[in-house]
Amino acid sequence: MTRPEALTGDASYAVVIPTLGRPSLGACLHALAEAGGPGPVRVVLVDDRPATGGVPLTADVPPSLRARTIVVPGGARGPAAARNLGWRAAGDVPWIVFLDDDVVPGPTWGDDLTLDLAAATGRTAGITARIQVPPPVDRRPTDWERNRAGLAAARWITADMACRRAALTAVGGFDERFRRAFREDADLALRMLDADWALAVGRRTTTHPVRPAGRLISVRLQARNADDVLMTRLHGRHWWRRAEAHRGRLPLHLAVTGAGVTALGCALLGRQRAAAACAAAWLAGTAEFALARIVPGPGTRDEVFTVTVTSALVPPAATWHWLRGRVAHRKARRYGPFGSGDPAPAPRPAVRERLRS
């Protein structure tokens, strides 16, 4: 990657990477350093690890980037807060490029980013990259791998998103109530669109490898249902249409969980016939969910066992987190500049640009 001085002032950029110090950070930084094209004027690593004393993040920084790299403590408050710390510490540059610490920028990333920024109009607030998720080459993907493959179709994903600093300032940055790496990008995009900014799809490509995950990852991911409740409070019932987001199976999870709870209640009250009917409904719903996840997969014994067990656990977990979100976010207000909480203007029709078809 060439030196940042090769860029004009309007196209200069800084890179912000929130990180938990995962091994993938080194691969991300080396790909960034080796990509062709003008480089960033600054790289900000936001150390969001919950405890200090680990391996210094600077150990992963390639020599060509060390003079331009700073490390900012994140306080383990989640990626939204970490990104806010990062872009505010990046200096007075027109563009901030957010990267996740587990992505790999493509070999022509710098050149393509330069073209993306040059093609942006004055009201372009953000330009996403084209995310590629490599599938397994020798078998069908697992349930977790199919989940990750959905990132390739996600709109306004901050795994690689260039944002105009003026637009970030205008809307106040990321809403720090989103503590997980989920929906904070869609929320930012909708607030930018509501403020009459435009969003674009760029030409640069970035790879998002699928990292290993534990057996219960699908159960843990149900905590995201609380974030969807917050999105509904902030942007209305139909926010997912505007954000072009996948709605998921929450209504079915609620129905299956309701059938299971009702079956237990009827059994305790001695209503055996009603209990049997509700138990049959629960079993049918759970079996349908399991088959929907097993059939597209590799069909190995380990995958079938994992999916079968988690198909019984996911619906009640989703229901619990949905209810928790309903309580936690019942008084949530629209996020204003720098967390003011001021009501945002009424939503406007989405304005979008495509830099290359």
CA 338-29-116 angle, 5° bins: 65
Write the CA distances from 19 to 2, 12, 33, 287, 357, integer angstroms: 25, 23, 17, 38, 32
pLDDT for 9 equals: 55
Who contacts 335 (Cβ-Cβ below 8 Å, separation ≥6)?
Answer: 171, 172, 175, 177, 187, 191, 234, 341, 344
Beta bridge mates, 126: 163, 199
User: Distance (Å, rounded) from C-alpha 277 to C-alpha 35?
Assistant: 61
For the chain, where are the E strands, in sequence order?
A: 13-19, 42-47, 69-73, 95-99, 104-105, 124-132, 160-164, 198-207, 352-354
> What pLDDT score was predicted for residue 346?
42
Class for the domain spanning 11-213 = alpha beta
- 326 in Cβ contact with 168 (< 8 Å): no
| Residue found by looking up tokens 């209640």 in the block | 265
DSSP 150: G
CA angle 224-226-228, nearest 5°?
Answer: 75
Question: Which residues belong to CATH 3.90.550.10 in the chain?
Answer: 11-213
pLDDT at 352: 43
**Total-model pTM:** 0.88
Q: Where are the beta strands (DSSP E) in 3-138?
A: 13-19, 42-47, 69-73, 95-99, 104-105, 124-132
Give the chain's largest Cα–Cα span: 78
What is the residue type of 232? Answer: T
- DSSP label at 96? E
What pLDDT, on the 0 to 100 scale, is given for residue 339?
43
Q: Is 167 buried (19+), middle (13-18) or exposed (0-12) by CB count in 10 A?
A: buried
Q: How far is CA 121 from the centre of its chain?
A: 26
**pLDDT tens series, the chain, 357 aa:** 655 544 555 789 999 999 998 899 999 999 999 999 999 999 999 999 887 666 788 888 999 999 999 999 998 999 999 999 999 999 999 999 999 999 999 999 999 999 999 999 889 999 999 999 999 999 999 999 999 999 998 888 999 999 999 999 999 999 999 999 999 999 999 999 999 999 999 999 999 999 999 999 999 999 999 999 999 999 999 999 999 888 889 999 999 999 999 999 999 999 999 999 999 999 999 999 999 999 999 999 999 999 999 999 999 999 999 999 999 999 988 776 644 444 444 444 444 444 443
Cβ-Cβ contacts under 8 Å for 291 (sequence gap 6 or more): none
> How far apart, in whole angstroms, are the C-alpha atoms of residue 235 and residue 242?
9
Residues recorded for the chain: 357
